Amino acid sequence: MIAEVGPGGLTHRAVAASTGLTLGTVSHKIRTKAELVQVGYGGLYINAVSRLRAQTSVLPSGRETVVGIANFLAENSGSRGIDALHLAVARDPALHQFGLQLRYLRGSTSRSLLQMLLPNRPSQGHLEPALLSGFLSSLSRHYGDWTAEEARAPIRAELEDLMALL
């Protein structure tokens, strides 16, 4: 729902209607708008990370990981849900705790990807995974209006350029 309607359209009533649950059930389980947004964004982020891991976890080396990441980004480049997530967390003080969890999750995911991309490199500090996370996010936004087929090759080329620099 977040990817489709944005955070403003995410209401208890909308969730109840889209899931077939009663408004009372949704309101009982998720009491506030902030909790509703947090649950929605948590699901969105975990879903994206699960799909990314599925694309990359069976790949034996850095070069194959580049292909998996490029495929994931190309297939998800039109989705605005993750961008909406980051903006909402940055703007809403009620989501501060979730923002801390999100930063941890992003750092953990980026660190894992970096280790897959550069398996023989010594462990990284905090900056390198953060830079990779920002770079991957920028690729998603840059190719957001492209089809998956159009975006796949240029995303892969940009990732390979990054690998050459590293």
Q: How many CB atoms lie within 10 A of CB 29?
A: 13
- The answer to whether the pTM exceeds 0.75 is no
Mean pLDDT in residue range 94-115: 82
Buried b (16+ CB within 10 A) or exposed e, 96-135: eebbeebeeebeebbbbbbbbbeeeeeebeeebbbebbee
Quick: pLDDT tens for 47-98: 777 777 777 665 556 677 888 888 888 887 656 667 777 777 788 888 888 8
Residues above pLDDT 70, as percent of the chain: 92
Tens-digit pLDDT profile for residues 25-41: 999 999 988 888 788 77
Which pLDDT band holds residue 22 (cuts at 50, 70, 90)? Answer: very high
Distance CA 77, CA 100 (A): 25
- The residue that leads in pLDDT, 60 or 156, is 156
Percent of the chain with pLDDT over 90: 19
Q: Where are the domains of the chain?
A: 32-165
- Decide if pLDDT at 151 tops 70: yes
- What's the residue count for the chain? 166
Q: Which fold has domain 32-165?
A: Tetracycline Repressor; domain 2 (1.10.357)
